[in-house]
Chain A
């Protein structure tokens, strides 16, 4: 298609060379990496053949010779980390995903505070470890780094990027934290993909017969795809029930001809298999008539045996709990499946409320559902399958390994986004923002700007004005959630709009624009309409790293990094610069004359020269700055080209004159009607 030909200059020089991209399931308990190879999506195993990495990171004290941390004593990840759990329980961090995008208050109310020590002094809470304080972001980065190494070893080359999955119900802070972790691990993120959507892609339920899963791969043969596509006449309405280690999501999607459209999503980001384990541990303590366990090591042992019991009872009617409580005291008792099921029933019931909610939000009746897919290790528990099947009145699909299905789906999307499928790919994922976004208004109320389940990307505007004469700044508080009071919603960020020209109260017209991108991340911009000035916006995230902080972390890790890591980072920038130059040069050659006058063209050419000049040196930051300047300076040119090519494609008529730039079009009343 003509449109994609415009994009092609930015792609690889060698047309037949595949761009290596992977899908990553960064789970609470286990993480996986998968990629499409020879037309099939497969999970990548590490050198020892393991297909998953436990989401566990164990930290060790810095070497005694006083060398700095980071480079020399890298943390252990996965099984190696788990091996240290008994000896160093406080330094062996699990379930860090629970703390992504969270603050100290959240830590205090989480069961994690019983298992670990926390350092409250930084902007985000950090685990206190032998290697120093480590935030959940850094822990996740360690896991991502491990997966990246495995993938590159397995695929035999450098990755261009990854699709990283997140629970659909993750809020903005949790998503941003995930992106920050990837940045820290040096892993470019092609997309943050919602886990249930990824699972739907893996099942390829679009067109598959009932119960017959299109296991994990989309064939390379376009004829075969074409004939399969011909079978897909009707669309299907599908529910994905995803109960993982620490999070629960349920999504309702409509699948039709390669388009996966999420109609509604709901869930609980603090509900999962972990909680089943905790319930069992509580029961174990009660049976022993103990208030609490003696130490962290004992707690770790108890949790492990609880997890083993849960898994065993999925296939056997009973299990013998055999574990050491303390010192010499060893316990052995039999737990039946019945007892376990009675224990976890309230938890399973809790998952049905979001199921009711998605049906309601999507305006779909239970009878209209064509398939229900089970995702996440915890869906192996027979009780879960029974209750969900009973609720939806149909058998649930469990064909694809529930532990791997998310990574598989992410790998398929990664393959598409990396551009490996050229112009043929018609896989399109239309996802939604799971929680309403709004602003604090007078009296501590929430004014909803973007309602939940709005298809993304989305841009909505809201106009504000000043209350006092001469006021030059506005304080804005952004929140996420469904409640009416700000206090009951999740605070995302606060910022000040400064630089408003001083006038009488009510004269200023400040347009605040909320934009949610395809990753589900919010950016806020502001424009003062009367004067046309863009007010400066300094966003202070409520539960995350501020703009400079992740940079600082990266720089810190760079400083201690071995020489080759720094060289690699520089090489990456060079490649990026090369691509940007290639893209602009081709674009100018193709229709520079059509869309630019002499002056405009000269400006862009000078910016391109700036990039070339930066490439002659070794300064990574200089290259970055030059690329950014070129991108910004050629923005208008790109818009004109895009508008023209879209017109050309759809109209089949001759191109009319240059169009103006886009403007958000939400009228006041339409916005009000939307604020649901």
Chain B
């Protein structure tokens, strides 16, 4: 198992490149690396070593953040295969899917103005959660089948759903405050 700070995230963590990964393995590896590289280990060292450590630890944090969250990991995997999920040239999206997104968005706005916003949000959150799970599953399958086009489509749809979920979470945060 090599440690190469300029390699891709999977190589850095000594993990097989792929969508499926064991969170416990990732976390264990992350901690191992930080035990070695973190600025806490270099506080008594020279200025240059300390500067290097800040960069190295930052690199490891970046990789961990990317690999830990399923959607980020998905987008990253696509980028490793040369697929840019946001490329302008191909913005076709399934019209049915877009309609659904619009409905969900309107539902979210309505929930915010409802008498009991939290109650209104609950079914919406559940639906979004299921949609995200489905997208995640389909992405995994497409990638395993080496169908990059399908994988890209799934990932883009997943991104839409994720954005809505985050907006729902923001709404909840505002309600809580």
Contacts and interface: CB of A to CB of B under 8 A. Distances in A.
B61 A458 contact: yes
Interface stretch (A391-399, A412-420, A491-499): A412-420
B33 to A, nearest CB: 9
A315 interface: no
A357 B175 CA distance: 11
Interface residues of A, number: 70
Contacts of B66: 670
Given A458-B61, A650-B3, A665-B59, A638 B48 contact: yes
Central interface residue in A190, A651, A653, A670, by most chain B CB within 10 Å: A670
Contacts of A676: 166
B32 to A, nearest CB: 8
A7 B49 contact: yes
A347 interface: no
Contacts of B6: 659-660, 662-663
Contact of B44 (A7, A459, A647): A7
A673 interface: yes
A457 B46 contact: no
B148 interface: no
A4 B85 CA distance: 42
Contacts of A190: 43
Contacts of B119: none
Interface in A285-320: none
A10 B45 contact: yes
A456 B62 CA distance: 9
B86 A669 contact: yes
A635 B48 contact: yes
B130 interface: no
A642 B49 contact: yes
Interface stretch (B70-78, B120-128, B134-142): B70-78
A413 B6 CA distance: 30
Given A357-B176, A672-B86, A659 B5 contact: yes
Most interface-central of A430, A458, A665 (chain B CB within 10 A): A665
B46 A518 contact: no
Contacts of B133: none
A10 B58 contact: no
Given A454-B65, A455-B64, A635 B43 contact: no
B4 A659 contact: yes
Contacts of A643: 5
Contacts of A580: 46-47
A112 to B, nearest CB: 26
User: Which 7 pairs between the two chains have the least Cβ-Cβ distance?
Assistant: A417-B43, A419-B44, A7-B45, A518-B39, A650-B3, A638-B48, A457-B58
30 contacts: A1-B36, A7-B49, A353-B176, A356-B176, A360-B176, A413-B40, A416-B43, A417-B43, A428-B34, A429-B40, A457-B39, A458-B62, A518-B39, A579-B46, A580-B46, A634-B48, A639-B52, A646-B3, A646-B37, A646-B56, A650-B2, A663-B6, A664-B59, A666-B62, A669-B75, A669-B79, A669-B86, A670-B72, A673-B75, A673-B159
Given A430-B34, A457-B61, 13 more contacts: A10-B44, A10-B45, A356-B176, A429-B40, A457-B57, A458-B61, A459-B58, A580-B46, A631-B46, A631-B48, A650-B1, A670-B75, A674-B72
